[in-house]
A and B are shown apart, each in its own frame.
Chain A
C-alpha cells in the first residue's frame, strides 16, 4: 500500500515499482510474502480481527462469531500463537479506537463460550491498563477503560462503574495548585467512559449514571490557568449559533452533554448516547463467567510532564450553519465522535492513508442512523433527511464531522500533537480519496474561517494561511477567488486583505509568480508585482543613480572571487569614506553604509540559491561576525540589509536571516527588533514578519528547554567538578536572560504598537485601528508562547529550572 503513491508514471514504465519493507523483522517477512498465501492460523486471525467492522458488506454478527470461535479453537490452546493474538487485541484497542466496541464483543462471545479463553484476554488487558496508569499514559488508559466498559456485565452486574467510582474518589488527592491539567484529564477520562458503560450490557442505568455525574460535577468546573489564552477566538464575539461550547474546555462540554442526555428525553433514535454502536446486543447477550475486575493502583505522582496536559477548547468550523451538518455542541454525539476521531488521527500519524480511509468510513463504526448518506450535497441535506422514504432523519454529514475534527487539531492551541503539516496531509489525502464529498466540505470550512478572520487568534490566522496555500498547491491552485473580490479595496492591513496577500505570497513560495498569476482572476493578478516575476533582485550598485556604484561593484567582485580580507577590507573602508564625504554617514556609526554594501554583495552572490548563500555566509563568517560588533545597532541593520535586498521576496530574505542567526552573525533580539521597529507597523499583517519572530522565539525557547533537559545528564552523576557545574549554570543563566530580555522587548514594543497613533498622517484611520488590532493579537500569541498567563503579563516569567 505504501507504494501506490510513489512518484513516476507507471504507465510507460516496464519495471514494477520498488516495494517497501517494514521496519520490524517479523512483519517484514509477513509483508514480502505473497498476500494471504501460507498464512498461519495466527496471521489469518490477526488480519481478520484488525479488519473488523471495516466493510459494511460483511455481516458483523458473522465476523465477530467467526473470530471468537477461531480464537478459541485454533489460537488460544497454542502457546506459540496465544501471546501474539492477545497482543493484537490489545493493539487494536489502543491504536484503533473506532473498533473498541467490536473487539469487546469478540471477547464477550469468547468468554461466554470458554471462560479460560476470556480470562486470558482480560488478564492481559488488566496488566496493560495498570502499566499505562503507572506510566501516566492517559490516552491508553482512556481507551483501555473504554474496552472494559464495553464488556458490560462480564465485569459484574454494574460493569465498570465500581472502577469509575474509585477513580472519582481518587480525584480529590490529585487536586493541587498547578495540577489543574491532570485533574481535568482524569475527569475527562471518567466522563467519556460513562456513555459506553451506559449502553453496555449491564445494570449501569440512568439513575446510577446521574448519581455518578453529580459527584464528578465540581471537577468539571476547574479551569486551566492558561485557558483564556487557548481560546481560538479572541474577543467577545461568538462565531457559533449555539454558544454553549464557546470558550469552554471539552471536559465541561462533555459534562453538559452527559447531563442533558440523562435528564432530557430525546425523540430521535440516533443522537446523544444512541449514536453509539451496540454490537453486543444481538450477538453476545450472555456475559458468561464473571470476571471480577481487580482494583487498580493509582500512584501519587505520575512520571510525566504535567504541564503538557492541557484541556482542548471546543472548536468547530460548521457550528454556525443554518443546516446542522455536525452535531451541535450541546449534543453528546458530537463529543463522542470528536473524541474518537481525534484519537485516531493523533495515534495513527504513521499512516495518513489509513487515517483518511477510516475518516471516510466513520459511519461504519457508529449507529448507521446517526449519519446521512455519504457525499450528500449540503443544499440537499434537508430534502434527503425529510424525504418520506428516508428512515434516517439525521442531517449530520459524515465528511463534515471528520473534517471538523481535523480542523480542531490544526487550530488547536497552544500546539497540536503533531506537526501542522500532518493535518495538512490528511486533508489532502481525504480530498484525493473522495473529492466530491470532501472538497465542498472544505470549501465551507474555509469560508467559515475567512468570515471570522477578525476574531480568530493571530497564530491561527497564520496557520490558516499556511494550510490554505499548501492545500491549494496540491490541487492546481484552484480557488474561487472572485467571491472575495469585494475585499480587494480594503487596506492591506485588514485581516481579510492580509489573508489574501499572505496566501498568494505563500503560494508563490511553493511555486513561482507567473504560475500563480495564471490561476488568478484579473483583479487579483494586480496584487502580484512585476518585480516578483524577476529571477533575481536588482543589485542596487548596478543602478546609475547609486552614488557608490563603482565601489559597490568592486566589492562584489572581490567577495565573489574569494579575495582575502586584506583586499576586501580596504574596499569596505572606501565606501565608508565615500559615504562620509557625501555627508551620509552618521558620526557615531561611520561604517553603516559600508556594512550595508557588504551584506548586499553577499545576498547578491547568494541569490542563485539557498546553497549559494549558505556557502557564501560560511566563507565570510569571520568578517560577518566582526562587522556585527562594530556598533550596537549593526546586527539589526544587517537584518535590514538582507530584507531590503529581498524586499520583493521577503520569504527568501527571512530564510537568509535565519541562517545568519544560526551563525550568530545576528542575534535573536536583533531579528525581533528589526521586525517590530524597522519593518514598519504595517509589517504586523505580513506572514513573513510573523514567521521571522515566531521562528526566532521558538529557537530561543527551545534552547532553554534543551539546556534544562540536559541538566540531569550533565550534573546527574556524582563527583561532577565544580567548574563544570559553574559552566552549566552560566550557560543556563545566559539563555534564560536572553529569553527574558526578548520577552520584555516584545511586551514593550507590541504594547506601544497596540496604542499606535500615526503622527505623520501617512496611515489612514482605518489602517491605524487594524495595526493596533494586530499588535494586540501578536501580544496575546507571544505571551502564550512564553507561557505567560493573562493577568501575570507584568511579571516576566523565565522558565524555571
Chain B
C-alpha cells in the first residue's frame, strides 16, 4: 500500500472537516484576539466523530467497519447523559491521522447497521464529550427531530414531550 499523499485540485476532497470546528474556533477567536496565528487543531487529528448511528449499534459493529481503515486505538460511545445508554454517536480514535482521513473518504456516507453514517474529523476525545448535550440527555438534533426514527428512540424528544403534555 504505497499510497503517497497527493494533493488533488480538480475534484473536491471528501476528507475535509465540516464547518463545526471552524465555527467554534471562529467564535473563540473573536473573543480572544484576531491576530494570534494558531495551528489547525485538525491537521494531525486521528479521531473521528461518527454520527447518525442507531442507538442499538454496538461497539463491535463500529469496530468491524472502521477497522477496515486501520487499527483502532480506542472507541468511545456517545451516551445519553441521564440514562447512560448509547444515543447515536461515537468517537473512533486511530493510531494515525492518515487512517482517520481514509475513514472520512471511504466510510463516511456509507451504511452501518443499515443507516447512512456521517464522519467528521475531531481534535480528540475529552472526558465529558461522550454525553449528549440535548435537553433530554441525548443529542440536540434528536430533541428537535420531527420524524419518527425507530433506530433513534422513535419521535424526537421535543415531540415526545409535547405528546406527553396533551
Q: Which residues of A contact B (CB under 8 A)?
A: 1-2, 5-9, 11-14, 18-24, 27, 50, 87-88, 91-92, 95-96, 305, 308, 347-354, 415-422, 424-425, 428, 466, 470, 473-474, 476, 506, 509-512, 609-611, 614, 651-652, 655, 658
Contact = CB atoms under 8 A, between A and B. Distances in A.
17 contacts: A7-B52, A7-B115, A88-B9, A92-B10, A308-B2, A347-B8, A349-B105, A350-B11, A351-B12, A419-B106, A470-B68, A474-B110, A509-B64, A510-B113, A610-B63, A611-B74, A614-B74
A6 B109 contact: yes
Contacts of B105: 349-352, 422, 425
B109 A5 contact: yes
A54 B65 CA distance: 34
Nearest to B15: A350
Given A7-B52, A8-B52, A424-B106, A509 B115 contact: no
B61 A12 contact: no
B160 interface: no
Contacts of B14: 2, 350-353
Of residues A19, A428, A609, which shows the largest number of chain B Cβ atoms within 10 Å of its Cβ? A609
Interface string B98-124: 000010011111111111111000000
Interface in B37-95: 51-52, 58-61, 63-65, 68-71, 74-77
A560 to B, nearest CB: 18
Nearest to A662: B71
A605 to B, nearest CB: 15
B1 interface: yes
Interface of B: 1-3, 6, 8-20, 22, 51-52, 58-61, 63-65, 68-71, 74-77, 102, 105-118, 141, 144-147, 149
Nearest to A353: B14
B2 A22 contact: no
Given A21-B22, A95-B11, A348-B11, A9 B106 contact: no
Contacts of B117: 7
Contacts of B10: 50, 88, 91-92, 95-96
B3 A2 contact: no
Nearest to B159: A12
Contacts of A510: 61, 64-65, 112-113
Given A12-B145, A350-B105, A23 B16 contact: yes
Contact of B110 (A19, A348, A428): A428
Given A18-B18, A350-B13, A417 B145 contact: no
Given A22-B16, A611-B75, A652 B106 contact: no
A510 B112 CA distance: 7
B22 A417 contact: no
Given A422-B106, A473-B111, A511 B1 contact: no
Contacts of A349: 3, 105-106
Contacts of A420: 68
B12 A354 contact: yes
A420 B116 CA distance: 20
A42 to B, nearest CB: 13
Given A1-B12, A95-B11, A614-B74, A347 B6 contact: yes
Contacts of B114: 473, 476, 511
Contact of B68 (A347, A351, A421): A421
Contacts of B118: 5-8
Nearest to B76: A611
Contact of B11 (A6, A9, A351, A466): A351
A220 B124 CA distance: 51
B68 A419 contact: yes
B6 A425 contact: no
A12 B64 contact: no
A5 B109 CA distance: 5
A652 B102 CA distance: 24
Contacts of B65: 470, 510
Contacts of B58: 512, 609
B9 A91 contact: yes
Contacts of A21: 16-19, 22
Contacts of B13: 22-23, 350-351
B106 A415 contact: no
B75 A20 contact: no
A354 B12 CA distance: 8
A610 B20 CA distance: 28
A702 B165 CA distance: 60
Contacts of B8: 91, 95, 347-348, 350-351
A655 B63 contact: yes
Nearest to B116: A7
A122 B40 CA distance: 37
B61 A20 contact: no
Nearest to A358: B11
Contacts of B115: 7
A168 B145 CA distance: 66
B61 to A, nearest CB: 6
Given A13-B145, A22-B16, A96-B10, A609 B60 contact: yes
A102 B145 CA distance: 48
A764 to B, nearest CB: 33
A98 to B, nearest CB: 11
A353 B1 CA distance: 22
A609 B59 contact: yes
A14 B115 CA distance: 21
Contact of A417 (B3, B51, B60, B106): B3
A477 to B, nearest CB: 8
B130 to A, nearest CB: 10
A652 B52 CA distance: 24
Contacts of B59: 609-611
